[in-house]
């Protein structure tokens, strides 16, 4: 195995390498494990348990719209765990959007369709992702018309009859602030636990995924964020009094403000507007993956998009 490059991010350190036996490029995500205070066994640490949960989920999934795990390497004293993953040579969706003024409507529709395929598969499999955002949507090959894959399952959860869905505090459900749903924002502001075993927590969690996809779709079709940017002066002033000012401001905006769904912005794409509005509805009216896939927006040009999807390379790097 030959290592070609390395970069670091919030998920850990990622090395780009080449598997000489399989003759393919690979990505190696290295996760550092810290021992919990007062605990000698590192395998009982929160870091270790969380990483094992991510690996369990990745091994459970198999879909062309999900970034694939190839192997796992663990030291005898597991201070570092290495996840060998499929390489996405086109980078992530956020980087691509930042390089472009905007993508055309056909490209936006094609990417949105693939994201919908991936999230429907996850929800049907009993998995909620909980951190859908452009940075976690990878381009498997070079754009335009790239194959999109959902990645980074560090915040994901399994649910189902054979899975223990643990009650979690609001802070563990945050994901990324910019894509947090209004019901989650309310729970965080209230300082409440968001789930108990008796509540329909998978439905709420899946609805949170759909909200985040609504935010991503809004960006794809308009090249704008769905919610107004932070009032910098307000936040900086409030930071002097409250170190959580930015978070509180974002949460209040998410609850109180509505995205711009006006005719002027969406005049040339009414079907996309209808779909995005459905994804950004309040509960219980928010669209799920099935309704999203059946929308007029994703039905238009569907045969051509599916033909392109089938022709696109499934695995890059060989």
> Which pLDDT does position 268 carry in this prediction?
93
Q: Residue 26 is encoded by which pair of tokens?
A: 């690979």
Domains of the chain: 2-86 (3.30.200.20), 93-311 (1.10.510.10)
Burial class (CB in 10 A: 0-12, 13-18, 19+), 146: buried
Cis check for the bond before 284: say yes or no (omega within 30 of 0). Answer: yes
The model's confidence at residue 187, banded by pLDDT at 50, 70 and 90, is confident
Measure CA 213 to chain center.
Answer: 8
Q: Check residues 3 and 254 and name the one with the higher pLDDT.
A: 254
**Cα–Cα distance between 66 and 152 in angstroms, integer?**
10
Among 130-139, 176-185, 221-230, the range with the most confident prediction by mean pLDDT is: 130-139
> Which pLDDT does position 13 carry in this prediction?
78
**Cα–Cα distance between 209 and 171 in angstroms, integer?**
16
Q: Are 66 and 53 in contact (CB under 8 A)?
A: no
Report pTM.
0.85
> Which pLDDT does position 167 carry in this prediction?
43
The closest alpha carbon to 53, from 133, 127, 143, 117, belongs to 127
- Cα R_g (the chain), whole angstroms: 20
Q: 127-144: per-residue pLDDT in tens?
A: 999 999 999 999 998 888
**Active-site positions?**
131
């Amino acid at each position: 195995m030959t290592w070609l490059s390395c970069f670091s991010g919030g998920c850990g350190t990622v090395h780009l390498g080449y598997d000489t036996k399989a003759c393919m490029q690979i990505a190696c995500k290295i996760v550092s494990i810290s021992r919990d205070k007062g605990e000698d066994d590192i395998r009982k640490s929160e870091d270790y348990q969380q990483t094992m949960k991510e690996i369990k989920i990745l091994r459970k999934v198999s879909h062309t719209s999900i970034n694939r795990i190839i192997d796992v390497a663990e030291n005898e004293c597991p201070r570092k765990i290495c996840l060998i993953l499929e390489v996405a040579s086109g980078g992530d969706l956020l980087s691509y959007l930042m390089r472009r003024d905007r993508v055309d409507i056909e490209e936006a529709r094609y990417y949105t369709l693939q994201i919908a395929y991936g999230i429907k598969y996850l929800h049907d499999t009993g998995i909620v992702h909980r951190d859908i955002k452009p940075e976690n949507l990878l381009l498997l090959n070079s754009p335009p018309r790239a194959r999109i894959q959902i990645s980074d399952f560090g915040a994901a959860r399994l649910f189902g009859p054979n899975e223990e869905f643990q009650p979690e505090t609001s802070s563990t459900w945050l994901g990324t602030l910019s894509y947090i749903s209004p019901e989650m924002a309310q729970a965080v502001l209230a300082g409440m636990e968001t789930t108990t075993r008796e509540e329909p927590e998978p439905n709420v969690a899946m609805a949170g995924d759909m909200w985040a996809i609504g935010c991503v779709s809004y960006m794809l079709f308009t090249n704008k964020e769905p919610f107004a940017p932070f009032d910098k002066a307000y936040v900086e002033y409030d930071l002097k009094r409250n170190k959580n000012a930015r978070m509180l401001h974002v949460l209040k905006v998410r609850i109180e403000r509505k995205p711009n769904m006006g005719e002027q912005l969406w005049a040339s794409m009414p079907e996309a507007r209808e779909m995005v509005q459905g994804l950004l509805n309040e509960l219980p009216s928010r669209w799920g993956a099935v309704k999203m896939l059946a929308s007029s927006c994703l039905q238009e040009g569907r045969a051509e998009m599916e033909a392109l999807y089938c022709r696109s390379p499934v695995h890059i790097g060989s």
